Amino acid sequence: CAGGFSGAVTAAGGVESTVNFGLSVLPSNVAVAGLFVIGCFISTSMGTSVGTIIALAPIAIGISEKTGISMPLCIGATVCGAMFGDNLSMISDTTIAATRTQGCGMKDKFRENFKIALLPAIVTAVLFYLSTRGVNYKPTEALTYDFIRIIPYLVVLIGAMVGLNVFLLLTGGTVLSLAIGLFYGDFAFLDIFKIMGEGITGMYDITVISIIVAGVVSLVRQNGGIDWVLYIIRKCIRGRKGAEVGIAALSSMVDCSTANNTVAIVIAGPIAKEIAEDYKISPQRTASLLDIFTSVFQGIIPYGAQLLYAAAATEMALTPVSSIEIVRYCYYPILLGVSALLFIAFGKKEA
């Protein structure tokens, strides 16, 4: 459903209208910080970090070339915004994986995450503003947008935040996007199935991988592998906070090994659930820790899909950059990791 919605809203011009609307209302002297903010909204609404990077990277390149601002800095702002929603969105595959492996509600996990993610997002926006203070960006092309095309995003985002059924929201958002596209003549009626199919196809890989990984994890559990991992982890941790650090370390290491945060959550999820039950950690906090720390490292490893796509987008630019050059400007994932560790160390004990 998330794939179908993404395909429909993109075909109906929702992404382009949202980007142009954001650039139109934001002052020109905060263009790079604005990229981050727009990226936060789009990624939270779409539930895909890679899709957000693909949508915003051309604008980031244009800002860099027309203002002289560092290309890695502009692309870094796009990656930061993309990772914000990848971690928080209720229709992100990472959120779905984290909540399903831990057996908690998406709304509960969102609330747990938001407490940790808000301050890093604010600090990141401030850092991008200070880094580009005094530089103005004047778009040469007309920033045309239609607010009606943005409505499906708002419906899904607000509905999910207030706790409405995500499956029904995505279905309704898809139908609304398709209706808007048909009304404006963006595509013909018979193209509807092709558009939805292309969006759904984008989810095939992760679906098949998740099924295979779930099978492998079950085999490992049957042969005592999970018990062995739990034995090693238990030897290294003491108390509830130590257990939370153990879950964070486990999910981080698996993500660095697989370079895919959804797959990392599916692999680490069963082990994290066992640890959480032993040390009385709530399912929503465990899901939040899994999602946060896999997203942290997914946003800074130069061989992950996000940074590779971001670097690939600059290949036709005047000054192409490598994924390694972008890492130093990935402020948000780094600050999110710091915030999560402080939350573990000094956060209130759960009731």
**Average pLDDT, stretch 122-131?**
94
Question: pTM of the prediction?
Answer: 0.78
Least confident of 25-39, 66-80, 88-102, 334-348: 25-39
**Average pLDDT, stretch 222-238?**
76
pLDDT score at 257: 82
The answer to whether 249 and 264 have CB atoms below 8 angstroms apart is no
Helix (H, G, I), strand (E, B) or coil at 13: coil
pLDDT score at 163: 65
Core vs surface per residue 295-331: b (16+ CB within 10 A) or e: bbbbbbbbebebbbbbbebbeebeeebebebbbebbb
Q: Across the chain, what does the average pLDDT equal?
A: 84
Distance CA 206, CA 203 (A): 6
Query: pLDDT per residue over 259-268, tens digit each?
Result: 888 888 988 8
Residue where the block lists tokens 């698996």: 254
